[in-house]
Amino acid sequence: MAAFRALLDLCKRRGFLYQSAEIYGGLRGAYDYGPLGVELKKNILNSWWQRHVYWRDDVVGLDTSILTPHPVLKASGHVDEFTDLLVDCVLTKERFRPDKAPTLEFISSKDTPGGRIPVEAPDKATAKAWQQLIQEQIAPGIQTTLEGKRIMLHVNSFVKPDAKGEGGRIDFVSASMPEQSISLEYNGYVEPNSNSPFLTASRPFNLMFKTFLDPIDPIDRVIQTATSQEQQNKSQGAIREAVDQVLKPSTVYLRPETAQGVFINFEQVTRTMNKRPPFGIAQVGKSFRNEIRLEHGIFRTPEFEQLELEYFIPPWESSHWFKYWRELRFKWWLEHACHKENFRQRDHEKNEMAHYASSCTDVEYKYPWGWGEVEGVAHRGNYDLTQHIKNSNAAFEVVEDEVRVSPSVMEVDECLIPTEKPARYVPHVIESSCGLNRTMLAYLCDAFHQVSEGNNKPPRSILRLHPRLAPVKCAVMPLTGKPEFMPLAESIAKSLRRRGWFTMVEAQKLKIGKRYYRHDEIGTPWCVTVDYQSLEDETVTIRDRDTGNQQRMHWRDIQRFIGDKLMDDEEL
Ligand code: ATP
């Protein structure tokens, strides 16, 4: 994790990432992308869009509204089912997701029959206060001892829950009668920061942000309704229902995924672009989730960007296209990676699938804290289109005179081929849903290298980003700060900028080596140096970030040299 902290420091220092609203103390979980962060994000997006839209004739783009009305997300199941389980710790007041929480840390010890559970406080004073809280309110009568910042809970015995998560129990030693126990249910997880087992039962929590599309602030109407309900002595539940009714007409949601915008436009796109399955719609944009726990910088934030592709297919071709997209997407990931072994695909267990999916494979990256999802490739069946047909009478059924099998498809599920003529079917969907911010973090972690400089010097950092992702493609460096080098340096920079490559001219009075190192740190693949010889024969040197090797060439050849390198492996 020390390397990860060094990377975050680099991101802040060199303009990749800033805490949002920092001058006002910051907004938890919100980040602003600095000049280099914007470029990195845009380059990832461009590579994705190029591969999945421009290089194909079966995928088109779309950009739909973030504000989504209630009926769309009610039909899609998000209003009722887009929930995570939420648990509160009654000791630390932390809120967390049980499915991501660790299991109990337990220390066997000679002086207690069962062992001890260490509960970790941030400091000694908090440990003392927590011990008092446990003994007086949370679990009165249990035996505890203080060891610095740790409260040791003495345990007689401890039973792990079964595979269904049931039957787990912790039997604490009673302080007054040590041979007796005070029992607590244990569901197989503890509060992640402290190892506290003192938890509430889990309850579902909807992740969508709600807001109101209404020229008049609805709060006044809410207050009036609640007050009049209270005066009629209505129950809390009845008051809540009355308030919900008041808000319902103006309720809209910030979309929790971009996909629904694609589904509800399915008919419009097929009609206006004259498309028939198999074909896809790509969309890139912001999504919002009121996450229970924000974690690891930009890994989990309430506001994030998604790169989503919904590929519509005849049902009998589903198996083929699911495999096809799983494979193609993973190739894209590996193509930009330094350490391919840190990327993997993981099939979902049946019980972890989203409400709409019938199979799903995640792409995961091995972050410094462990494997984490960066993308899900899901077989959504015809769930979404069918739901919207039922709830809106949309014309999403495809009608074909003849059943066709796409030429490249080898695996056909015959029993899903309609027998009537004309053939009618609701397309199935294979979705690739990738988080742009998580992708950026994964590639930053993958590219971050610290190189020892010896002699007790701190290590220097290199970002070995794939050249196509690197924010700055080239830095042009006049050898000294002398003005006679500047016209050529500016001409080179101009020629590269015209190709759409972010190019910087570095004319500071710093040694050339230092200037190279500053660009290694932000991942610039090539540095061009203008020196005395350049003034004589118009040649310059170009230095490679990863090997340190330099080549001399005419300055007009730099453009082609970089262009060729950027094209190198575009063979997907
Ligand atoms: P997780 O299990 O980590 O919460 P998820 O399974 O809910 O993720 P999906 O609904 O499959 O995620 O969303 C697709 C992609 O969107 C994820 O693979 C991830 O890259 C990205 N994503 C989802 N939630 C967030 C978030 N809160 N912050 C940043 N990226 C996110």
pLDDT confidence of 293, banded at 50, 70, 90?
Answer: confident
- Of the CA atoms within 13 Å of residue 549, those in its CB half-sphere come to 3
% of the chain with per-residue pLDDT over 90? 74
**Rounded average pLDDT over 383-398:** 94
Model pLDDT for residues 135-177, shown as the tens digit of each residue: 999 999 999 999 999 999 999 888 889 888 888 999 999 888 8
The CA-based diameter of the chain, rounded to the nearest angstrom, is 94
Ligand 1 in reach of 303 Cβ (< 6 A): no
Which of 433, 437, 441 to mutate for ligand 1's pocket (most ligand atoms within 8 Å of CB)?
433
Query: Using CA positions, which residue lies closest to atom 22 of ligand 1?
Result: 435
Pocket test for ligand 1, best of 333, 353, 438, 439 (most atoms within 8 A of CB): 438
**Separation of 436 CA from ligand 1 center, angstroms?**
10
Q: List the single range of 32-36, 223-227, 568-572 with lowest mean pLDDT.
A: 568-572
435 CA distance to ligand 1 centroid (A)? 6
Query: If residue 184 lies in a helix (H) or strand (E), which one and from where to where?
Result: strand 181-185
Lowest mean pLDDT among 178-192, 202-216, 344-358, 363-377: 344-358
How far is CA 460 from each of CA 35, 337, 423, 425, rounded to the nearest angstrom? Answer: 22, 21, 64, 59
Could you report the per-residue pLDDT of 70-80, keeping only the tens digit for each? 999 999 999 99
Q: What's the 449 CA to ligand 1 centre distance in angstroms?
A: 27
The pLDDT score that the predictor gives to residue 111 is 63
Cα separation, 546 vs 568, whole angstroms: 16
- Asked if pLDDT for residue 487 goes beyond 70, the answer is yes
Concatenating the DSSP letter of every residue in 51-116 gives IIIIT-SSEEEE---SEEEHHHHHHTTHHHH-EEEEEEBTTT--EE-GGGPPPPP-B--SSSSSEE
Give the three-class secondary structure for 479: coil
Strand 526-530: give its sheet, edge to edge: 503-505, 474-478, 526-530, 539-544, 550-554
Atom of ligand 1 nearest to the CA of 289: 27
Q: Which two tokens stand for residue 261?
A: 């915008």
With a 6 Å cutoff on the Cβ, whether 438 touches ligand 1 is: yes
Long-range contacts of 408-417 (CB under 8 A, 24+ apart): 409/317, 409/320, 409/321, 410/320, 411/317, 411/319, 411/320, 411/323, 412/316, 412/317, 412/320, 413/315, 413/316, 413/317, 413/318, 413/319, 414/316, 416/314, 416/315, 416/316, 416/318, 417/316
Give tens-digit pLDDT for 3-55: 899 999 999 999 999 999 999 999 999 999 999 999 999 999 999 999 999 99
Percent share of the chain, pLDDT over 70: 98
| Ligand 1 midpoint to CA 243 (Å) | 31
pLDDT (mean) for 346-368: 85
pTM of the full predicted structure?
A: 0.87
Ligand 1 site, residue 289, Cβ cutoff 6 A: yes
Decide whether any atom of ligand 1 lies within 6 Å of the 300 Cβ: yes
Q: Does the pLDDT value for residue 276 go beyond 90? A: yes
Kindly state if the Cβ of 433 falls inside 6 Å of ligand 1: yes
Question: Does the structure show a pLDDT above 70 at 380?
Answer: yes
373 pocket-lining for ligand 1 (C-beta < 6 Å)? yes
Using CA atoms, how far apart are residues 539 and 534, in angstroms rounded to an integer? 5
Name the pLDDT band for 219 (thresholds 50, 70, 90). Answer: confident
pLDDT at position 252, please?
Answer: 95
Give yes or no for residue 544 having a pLDDT over 60.
Answer: yes
Q: Taking the domains of the chain in order of start, what are their residue ranges?
A: 35-60+259-444, 87-204, 209-253, 472-566
Pocket test for ligand 1, best of 45, 207, 300, 371 (most atoms within 8 A of CB): 300
With contact defined as beta carbons under 8 Å apart, do 374 and 332 qualify? no
Confidence of residue 113 (pLDDT cuts 50, 70, 90): low
Expressed in angstroms and rounded, the spacing between residue 115 Cα and the centre of ligand 1 is: 38
**Per-residue pLDDT band at 501 (split at 50, 70, 90):** very high
Pick the atom of ligand 1 nearest to 435's CA.
20
Q: Give the model's pLDDT for residue 572.
A: 44
Q: How far is the CA of 289 from the centre of ligand 1 (A)?
A: 9
CA of 263 relative to ligand 1 center, distance in Å: 19
The arrangement of secondary structure in 35-60+259-444, i.e. its CATH architecture, is 2-Layer Sandwich (3.30)
Whether the CB of 441 sits within 6 Å of ligand 1: no
Q: Kindly tell me if the per-residue pLDDT of 569 is higher than 60.
A: no
What is the distance between the alpha carbons of residues 570 and 350, in angstroms, rounded to a whole number?
36
- Please provide the CATH number assigned to the domain covering 472-566: 3.40.50.800
pLDDT, greater one: 31 or 244: 31
Distance in Å, CA 13 to ligand 1 centroid:
27
Does residue 117 contact residue 173 with C-beta atoms inside 8 Å? no
In this predicted structure, the answer to whether residue 571 has a pLDDT above a threshold of 60 is: no
Per-residue pLDDT of 454-473, as tens digits, reads: 878 888 999 999 999 999 99
Q: Residue 235: pLDDT band by 50, 70, 90 thresholds? A: confident
Q: Does ligand 1 lie within 6 Å of residue 432's CB atom?
A: no
Give the mean pLDDT of the chain.
92
